[in-house]
Every structure is written in C-alpha cells, then in structure tokens.
Amino acid sequence: MPERLAPAVAVRRLAALLRAEPSATVLVDGPSGAGKSTFADAVLDAAGARRVQLLRLDSVYPGWDGLAAGSAAVRRGVLAPRVRGGAGTWRRWDWAHDRPAESHLLRPGIPLLVEGCGAFTLPGVLPDPRVVRVWVVAGEEARKRRALERDAGGFDPHWAQWERQWRAYVSAAAPAPRADLVVAGA
C-alpha cells in the first residue's frame, strides 16, 4: 500500500535519499498536468541538483503518439542497465523537427531522477530497494488546465490523443498501486 505524504515531506525524504545513496533512483509518474515536473524540480533543489542526474520523459517520447515507446526505451536503455549497476543511455526527441536527436549517457553511481508519464514502466522490471516510485495526483480539471496552459497552446490539439495513451498505460501497467509514495501535485 503506497504511503501518502504531503509534498514538502516527500521532497525532504527523497532529497535525503538522493544525497545519501549514490545508486538511488526516484521515478516520478502520474497523469499529464498533475505536477510531476514541479515536484521533481523541488526534489532536485532540495537534494542539490548538481548531484543528481535528471531524465524528463518529455525529452524521450518520440512524438505525440510516443508514450509507450518512450517508456519502453527508458526501461530498456536506462532502468534495466542501472539495476545491474551499468550505465544507461537515452536518445532525445527533437520535437521541432519530429525526429530522433543526440544520445545521452546516464552514469551508474550517481543518483537518478526520472520524471514523466510512464516512468514506472512495466511490473517486475525494477526489483531494487534503491528505487522509489512516486505517484503524483491531481484533479482532472486542474491537470488539464495546467497542461494546456504550460505549453502556450502547443499541447491543445494533442490533449485527447495523449490522454488515450495515458489511459492505455494505466490499464496495461497498473502503475498507481505500485507506487511507494503518493503526493498531491503542485
């Protein structure tokens, strides 16, 4: 059963973990507009951002239909090697040109925070006590308003398309019950 925490308490706890455990991995998941990025930024600020590697899944999704593919790429290229103590790699998606861009290396032995829809990936991939899963929640109206305001109209025509992918991910992977912590979004 996930532990429900006030965001400030969760931020302090996760920042302490990221400072203390070089192999720690924090996965922040939840629906679009819930406040995942804001929460992740607060954790980074509290932990000392220079000490933590950050991967925002918005940089990985291969286009507006890419939630499942982006999640799978991070699972295969970043999280699975990390559990084994290896380096991970991911490829940035160039949204302006709608194509893959440069690859990035994530080193083992440096804490990692992964933030975005689909961050929990699939069950059974990360049997590691150094992995903490955080589920960020928010009401439907608030999250849609925040998501659409955030991108100055760029997300508007894709909201329904993304929401369908999100719901398919939730149906297939059942991420919420696998959370260690649940926090209310900002």
Specify the pLDDT at position 125: 52
Predicted confidence (pLDDT) per residue in 26-73, tens digit: 999 999 999 999 999 999 999 986 789 999 999 999 999 999 999 999
Which phi and psi angles does 126 have, rounded to 5°? -125, 70
- Of 2, 59, 37, give the one whose Cα is nearest residue 138: 37
Tokens read off for 59: 């940089």
Specify the pLDDT at position 128: 67
Superfamily for 3-184?
A: P-loop containing nucleotide triphosphate hydrolases (3.40.50.300)
Other beta carbons within 10 Å of 49: 14
Specify the pLDDT at position 122: 54
Predicted confidence (pLDDT) per residue in 69-80, tens digit: 999 999 999 998
Specify the pLDDT at position 121: 75
| Domain spans of the chain, in order of start | 3-184
- State how far the alpha carbon of 161 is from the alpha carbons of 57, 125, 157, 173, in Å: 17, 27, 8, 18
CA distance 79 to 56: 13
Below-70 pLDDT ranges, the chain: 49, 122-129, 186
Q: Which residues of 100-122 are buried (b: 16+ CB within 10 A; e: fewer)?
A: eeeebebeeeebbbbbbbbbbbb
CA distance 98 to 83: 31
In this prediction, what percent of the chain has a pLDDT beyond 70? 95
CA angle 167, 171, 173 (to 5 degrees): 110
- State how far the alpha carbon of 12 is from the alpha carbons of 27, 47, 54, in Å: 15, 8, 17
Is the separation of the CB atoms in 112 and 25 below 8 Å? yes
Which residues on neighbouring strands pair with residue 27, listed in sequence order? 114, 133
